[in-house]
Every structure is written in structure tokens, then in C-alpha cells.
A and B are shown apart, each in its own frame.
Chain A
């Protein structure tokens, strides 16, 4: 069975045999039973890290504990997570076409009234709300990722018509896409100089630095998510060119 899968992998994985069906039901059921037994039998560690985080929240520069964990206590994770997003953007984005400008607005004669009205009214409101979320992240739920996701949602609305176009391979787009990772690394490394350890914020500036990193992260995340979305719309060209450029191997 595996031998066939190995060499002649044809089409998406198809596994309809009764044996695998029964086996997976059994495994999934066992998994469920075992893990539920854990939950029922074991009380678990009582509070986790809640007390430690509450004790140190004063030193983190923000008052929202989740933001404190994400951007101060475990900032290294967040940095690597931005790198994960960058990996996917790099893998998906088309690589040609550097010369068209970053942002282009084309006048279209036939306009969809509802769509253009939504674009005019909702998109700016979303931008303002995203700015608020970003700011509010310091003391209540919110922050870079929420704001970025919201803005990317607004970009979906914008790209419904052909009026607005963004060229994700233009130099500006490249800079904006790597902005958050670059700023994060720069600040993190610069802090070694001042504070003696990686990503150690000085107490007086920690709130400000976190806001700066979050703002850059919002920009990069928005652009990354928007580019992922539009790559699915404009995928046709990409895949055909890739196919044509089959090279020597």
C-alpha cells in the first residue's frame, strides 16, 4: 500500500478503504477517550503562570496581560511567528513585475453602486477602528494581530472591484512586508547594547517600544494577509508561468 503511495502519488491523497476508515475511527475514539480521561482525572496545575504574570505586569509597560505576554515576556516567540508569516508570503507572492507602482487607482466606468458605497463608507471606518484596536491593545483585548486582521478584511472589500490595485512585489511593498521583522530584530538587538540582554525593554520606554513594534507589525501583517488573499485571486498567471519555466534538473 505504501509502495504505491510512494512512487505514483497521483492526485490528492485518496483513502477510502474500509480498513483505514475503521482504523481512524478507532484511533480518533481512543484519542478522545484517553484525553477526556486526563481532563476528568487530573486537576492539573492550579493556576499555571497567572500569578507570575500578575506579579510582573507592572514591569512590562502595558496593562493588558495578553499583550504583556505576547510582546514582552514571550516576545521572542512573537518575533519568530512573524518570521513564519514571512515564510508563507515569500513562498506565495509572484516574483516578477517590480516596476508597476505600489498602489494604483484605476477609474472604472461601470461602477457597482453598492460596492463603491461600501468601499467609501466602511473601509475608512475599519481603518479608524483598527487604529483604535492597536492603541487599545495596551490595556484591553486588542493589539497588532487583531488590527492587522481587521485591516486585511478591509482590503478584501477594496479588492472586490478593480479600482484599487496593489503591487506586492514593488520595492515599497517589500520594505513594508519585512518592516516588522526588521524593526523587531533591530530593537531587540539594540537593547542588548543598552540593557545587556536581548529584547529587554527599559522600564521607562517599554510601553512606547511595544507600541512601535506593534504598529510596524500591524502594517506587515495587514500587507501579508492581504497579499495572501489576492494571491488566490490572481493565481492564474503565477501558476502558468511557473509551469512554463520547468528547468533542468
Chain B
């Protein structure tokens, strides 16, 4: 077993674990984190894929991962923002009801 093969399997495992988390987790924060774990799993798979031939390094997956990371950051930021805003609305309505 080459190290690239090992890493790609680890990436796949991360994807599966992340999926499990997305479905099962009850809190939004956990779901967002689980989505990120899934994303990292794919990135790891892609990076391992770049080295599947021991003699050649394929730069394309690296570029895809860089693009993917920025998109993942953007999606996470938006999700967190929405979560925080809902939280604030809940808080202020609780204060009003008091």
C-alpha cells in the first residue's frame, strides 16, 4: 500500500464520518463543522490523488483544493452568520418576553 493510497482512504473515511455528523448532529454548529469535515475529506482525497503516480505530481488537484478551500470558507462564514443572527433574534425576543 502506497502512502497516497492510505491518504486517499483516510480522506474517504473523513467524508463518511462528516456525512454521519451532518445527518445525526442536532445543533447547527455541529452540522457546519461536520460539513467542513466532509469537505476536508474530499480535499485530502484530491491531494492524495495528485500523487497517485509516485513519479509525477499533478498540480491540478492542488489548484482545485485551493479554490475549494476558499469556497468552503465562504459557505461556512455565511452559515455561521445566519446561525448567530437567529441566536440574537431569539435572545432579544426572550428579553422582550421578560
Contact = CB atoms under 8 A, between A and B. Distances in A.
Interface of A: 12-16, 20-21, 23-25, 27-29, 31-32, 35-36, 39-40, 44, 46-51, 53, 65-66, 68-70, 74, 77-78, 81, 84-85, 87-88, 91-92, 145, 221, 225, 228, 231-232, 235-236, 238-240, 242-243
Contacts of A91: 78, 81
Interface in B47-98: 49-50, 52-53, 56-63, 66-67, 69-71, 73-75, 77-78, 80-81, 83-85, 88-89, 92
Given A88-B74, A88-B78, A81 B12 contact: no
Query: Interface range on chain B: under 10, 10 to 19, 20 to 34, or 35 or more?
Result: 35 or more
A85 B74 contact: yes
Contact of A39 (B8, B15, B67, B75): B8
B15 A145 contact: no
A66 B85 CA distance: 38
A28 B17 contact: yes
Given A145-B69, A221-B70, 11 more contacts: A16-B26, A21-B24, A25-B20, A31-B12, A35-B16, A39-B5, A50-B60, A70-B67, A87-B78, A92-B78, A235-B81
Contacts of B58: 47-50, 53
Nearest to A48: B58
B17 A66 contact: no
A13 B27 CA distance: 7
B89 A239 contact: yes
B52 A239 contact: no
Contact of A48 (B61, B83, B85, B89): B61
